[in-house]
Chain A
């Protein structure tokens, strides 16, 4: 058959890879860098707010920081970090050799990255966007601010990457499941990723449309929103939140999935109420689309609309409550191991409940007139985002780290990290509830002294220092563990866990499973440990394995999109060095040329010969 793989240089290998595991690690690294960047901005903002009338940052810089912090955290940190785990884990958990379209997977990563870099380029051209991550018109129509053009085009580009990755996950989960892996045997992380991908499919499309309208209005002088020209500013808010509310569920559902993996693994019990969990996920997803106007209670859409959206919002508490109780019942009576992953996962539950409670408070439309645009809102969504999503990400990091990097993270440093982070998190955000109730507005760069706000702001900022220390401990942990951490090479299943990813050898071979496994139950590995000999039964004989070729085209197509976006932004620059249209044409050439190349050239991949697979099986153990 086809020729066996040629050796490649390390850099070239990573640039051209279409392997879902390597892409997962690349998402993890890119997401972490963006997370650190946005986190640093948060620290700077908190230092500015440490005392009244501070002048550490100017108002303008502060506005740019809140905007970039929020935008980066949501689109370029949380999303790719979740995608990192989705990429790495989903194929392993469903018994597949890769995602359905490995090339598209690589393309998704590189397009996301080039969009993120395009947004970040704004710092070199007069400063970042400054209209908040919601970019409300007419504020975001300000022609002076080039940063907003970077916002519009950066998000547009990175959104394409997110969208195609999501479609890829959908096709993968539908088509690539191993024999016996029925939909109702999918691990909950796969289920929530599936539903999240559906949400991305239906929510990122309105976002793309909205951003396109904003781009037309800013760069090409269209008049959709400008009231002076008969436009309607409220339409932007609707479009934004029709995307924006589902977006929060896009982020939190995979986080729920991670928690639903970690808690059963370390409670030594199957997940309580699996079916209820699956349907609760779907109900949350559906309701997530029907509540967007709860962000607009104070706009004046009328009492009837406000009431309908208030009640719809509160309904979401029901399926979410089902989930909370199921996690509690999973832990109930379990033999719990409190390692770092489990500490994060179990502390997720009460923290998320706190965020949920303030969510229901905010859903009461009449009272929202008091909370709106105060620090109460900031406290609420950080309890969801940090107390929910980020805690789940840390749990997932410690849980899946051995599979991804062949060694564990240090547990002692992990516990220190957990304690510092928990203290810091609650110090920072708990007092912000009170700041909000006292009337401190959000997105304002300073405040007057002597209004009772001073102490709480001081406490909040000190909390941030604890969180920063915690993140530094995490970084030390990663470096330390890389050198000295407990190796798990040859140990497939270091946690004695339940799901299929732990049946693959460590390090995971590039084809994942030498033989596609036969799935006989929910928690398939656990089933084999109890009813079989602890290894998965193969569903096929050892044979040649067909693998996709790597390709540099995703990088080229993404570079093209970067220049396409940048060229369009140059149209707004006062004195561009070259004609913007040249840059647009160059970008278009790269992008569409790359796409044409991919379409016209046949690429059938290569085969790993049976002999090599057999040798690997002997060396690595794994399936028999």
Chain B
């Protein structure tokens, strides 16, 4: 109970969709509008998991993952990337930056929950 998940996406609709789905499943959610906002917010909240988009203004998803991994508090935090690109390059880039897993957009709410369960238990 009370696991906090941060959703990072510059698209309000995706963010709200993710928030809505996770809250329904009993998680607490912190929203961030881009990578820079996310880096700021992890300082204020204790976050158990991060779901981030990759294409974002300011700090993008790959950079966010790198920065979070460099932060000792989030060295082992599960980070799942949202991506529409089915090309392996972007996914590989995310993987080597330290992403735990990925969700390919468009996704259904139960797919999101399945992935959250997979990485957080």
Are A and B bound to each other?
Answer: no
**Could you tell me which B residues sit within 8 Å of A by CB distance?**
none
Question: Taking beta carbons and an 8 Å cutoff, which residues of A are in contact with B?
Answer: none
